[in-house]
A and B are shown apart, each in its own frame.
Chain A
Amino acid sequence: MFTYLVRRLIYVLPVAIGVSMFCFLLVHIAPGDPLTAIMPVDATAEEQAAMRSAYGLDKPMPVQYAIWIGKAATGDLGKSIATGRPVAGEVFLAVKNSLLLAFAASLIAFPIGLFLGFLAGYFRDTIFDRMITAVAITGVSVPNYWLGIVLVIVFSVQLGWLPSMGAGPGGSGEWSWDLEHIRYLVLPAVTLAVVPIGIVARTVRALVGDIFSMDFVQALFAKGLYPIDVLRHVIRNAAPTALSVMGLQLGYLLGGSILIETVFNWPGSGFLLSNAIFQRDLPLLQGTILVLALFFVTMNLIVDVLQAAIDPRIKRS
């Protein structure tokens, strides 16, 4: 287990460096001068040069990267061009809100997806299976930003049951665990849950179906085990893969909630990202993407290690 852990950690390092390089280069593939967004149009050449050296843009690219990554490693992601505030602080607040949304969506999606997938896998090729498969494929096909709008139309505009945007009354960004705030969470969380429901259900269906068709399950039945005990064996076999799919989905939810956050004006990382794009706030764009991608890398790592911890087959291979 320990060697596996070390190997997996060593493997993560180049990926993390690659990710940081990509985020750094993002600013340089952007057309136009990154300074145009902050400089007045009538700025003199000297003023531009002064600004350029203030932002370190006059140095060669590898040096710029080294400076940037060195600062980033200590938690300094630079200052937002639009607000002048430190990027790290803004990203931290936004990621907190995004995580909240992602966890809420997972709480809805994972039990439903597991249940449906298990049912469909157990009753393979029956009407149950076909119905659940239809639900799952609808889930993975629906553009969730549209579904969000439809839910707003039904539950906010027509029925007036739930608020349509924001993360709390009065548009405050501060979250607290009371009924009033939770009402704001319902629609975005449900919207975000639809795709993972489909993916988890589809994966678990295939998994459970395959396990049930294996010889050892027949042997267990032949031994005279109660179905409930056979089920325990099936679940133990399905658990590692199911867990890894769910872990990855959680990572996807955090990085993929951008569109949903835009629909619901949810003050999360996606919302921050779209602001950064439209204000051409490149340090903010860079910082947000770096944090989200590194979170995803970490999530992958945790999932792999957990999977190896509960599945003896992986350690051996």
Chain B
Amino acid sequence: MSMAATEAKAPAEQVAKTKGYWSGVLKRFSRDPVAVTCAVIVLLLILAAIFAPYLGLNDPYKASMIKRLKPIGFPGFPLGTDEQGRDMLARLLYGGRLTLFVGLMPVVFAFGIGSTLGLIAGYAGGWVNTIIMRTVDVFFAFPSVLLAIAISGALGAGIVNSIVSLTIVFIPPIARVAESATSSVRALDYIDAARASGGNALTIIRVHVLGNVLGPIFVYATSLTSVCMILAAGLSFLGIGVRPPEPEWGLMLNTLRTAIYVNPWVAALPGLMIFITSLCLNLLSDGLRSAMNVKD
């Protein structure tokens, strides 16, 4: 998902120019069994979430007082039922919709905003850099969990508020990486040469800087997706994210907490989904990092 977003961002001509590089990346990536497996799992989760209505599942909202908290393998409910008698399998797959959306979109937005800010700060230098980067420093004074909860707590529950607060959380780290990548490229001779031959700032950034900094920033952004997923579900778990009765893994984990004495393993399922997704996202990012030859 975020992959498509970056490719849309990179100018078309650049992708064509660096085709040799990208086919090399693809080749190295496809030889990494762990990364490929994780990519398949994440893709399946996304597809299952998108096409959930066509999979012949039970209604994820239909409650039943007599079928509450049935165990895994109960006839008609392969993964049991939740505290309101709703089908767990359906809710877990439908739950992927909001969980993945709220878990991944902030990184996409933060990637766009953070890299723009970092590029401007790194390229312009001087007081522009000082203003942007000192503001970013203030946000670094908060552990990310605390910052997310503080903003979400003040704004109140809701999908949009969660995305806004998590985007704010992830802009500073991305901006910092973008700034340091840009200023190191900015100091190279060929940029001076481009300026001397009369290129304006926008053209130089687009043609000479972007291609060199976007890769590392992108890989760094993918490494944040796992944390973002965990945080997004965590906000819902706290009750300041997605609102009930929507199926969302963090929220489901929260409402099922009371059921750990009745049917513990069904209660643990939504968390398992968060865990699997975040593990795959982490491994996927590691695979991408080595395939793209990006160093820390």
Contact = CB atoms under 8 A, between A and B. Distances in A.
Whether both chains belong to one complex is answered with yes
B158 to A, nearest CB: 10
Contact of A289 (B150, B155, B226, B265): B150
A149 B233 CA distance: 15
Interface in B254-277: 257, 260-261, 264-265, 267-268, 270-272, 274-275
A274 B278 contact: no
A26 to B, nearest CB: 5
Contacts of B233: 143
A15 B226 contact: no
Interface stretch (B60-68, B141-149, B175-183, B204-212): B141-149
A255 B143 contact: yes
A18 B137 contact: yes
Interface residues of B, number: 46
Nearest to A263: B257
Interface string A147-174: 1011011000110000000000000000
Nearest to A31: B156
B154 A29 contact: yes
Given A140-B226, A259-B145, A294-B141, 9 more contacts: A14-B137, A15-B141, A31-B156, A137-B286, A142-B279, A149-B271, A285-B154, A289-B142, A292-B142
Contacts of A26: 150-151, 154
21 contacts: A15-B137, A16-B141, A21-B138, A29-B154, A140-B226, A141-B278, A143-B278, A146-B271, A146-B272, A149-B257, A149-B268, A150-B268, A150-B271, A158-B264, A254-B143, A258-B146, A273-B149, A274-B239, A285-B150, A289-B146, A293-B141
Contacts of B145: 252, 255-256, 258-259
Interface of A: 14-16, 18-19, 21-23, 26-27, 29-31, 137-138, 140-143, 145-147, 149-150, 152-153, 157-158, 206, 251-252, 254-256, 258-259, 262-263, 273-274, 276-278, 282, 285, 289, 292-294, 296-297, 300
B238 interface: yes
Contacts of B170: none
B271 A143 contact: yes
Q: Which of B138, B278, B282 has the most CB of A within 10 A?
A: B138
Interface in B132-190: 134-135, 137-139, 141-146, 149-151, 153-156
B221 interface: no
Contact of B141 (A27, A252, A273, A297): A297
A14 B274 CA distance: 38
Contact of A14 (B134, B144, B278, B283): B134
B260 A15 contact: no
Given A140-B282, A259-B238, A276 B271 contact: no
A149 B267 contact: yes
A145 B234 contact: yes
B237 interface: yes
Contacts of B121: none
A293 B140 CA distance: 9
Nearest to B279: A141
B230 interface: yes
B240 interface: yes
A300 to B, nearest CB: 8
Nearest to A256: B145
Given A26-B151, A153-B260, A273-B153, A296 B230 contact: no
A143 B279 contact: no
B122 to A, nearest CB: 20
A221 B264 CA distance: 55
Q: Which of A149, A150, A274, A292 has the most CB of B within 10 A?
A: A149
B11 to A, nearest CB: 34
Given A273-B149, A296-B141, A296-B143, A141 B155 contact: no
Contact of A153 (B137, B268, B275): B268
A22 B138 contact: yes
A138 B286 CA distance: 13
B253 interface: yes
Contacts of B264: 153, 157-158
Contacts of B156: 30-31
A259 B237 contact: yes
A255 B278 contact: no
B226 to A, nearest CB: 6
A15 B134 CA distance: 8
Contact of A274 (B142, B155, B238, B271): B238
B35 to A, nearest CB: 12
Q: Which of A16, A137, A254, A300 has the most CB of B within 10 A?
A: A137
A141 B239 CA distance: 22
A254 B146 CA distance: 9
B227 to A, nearest CB: 8
Contacts of B226: 140-141
Contacts of A158: 264
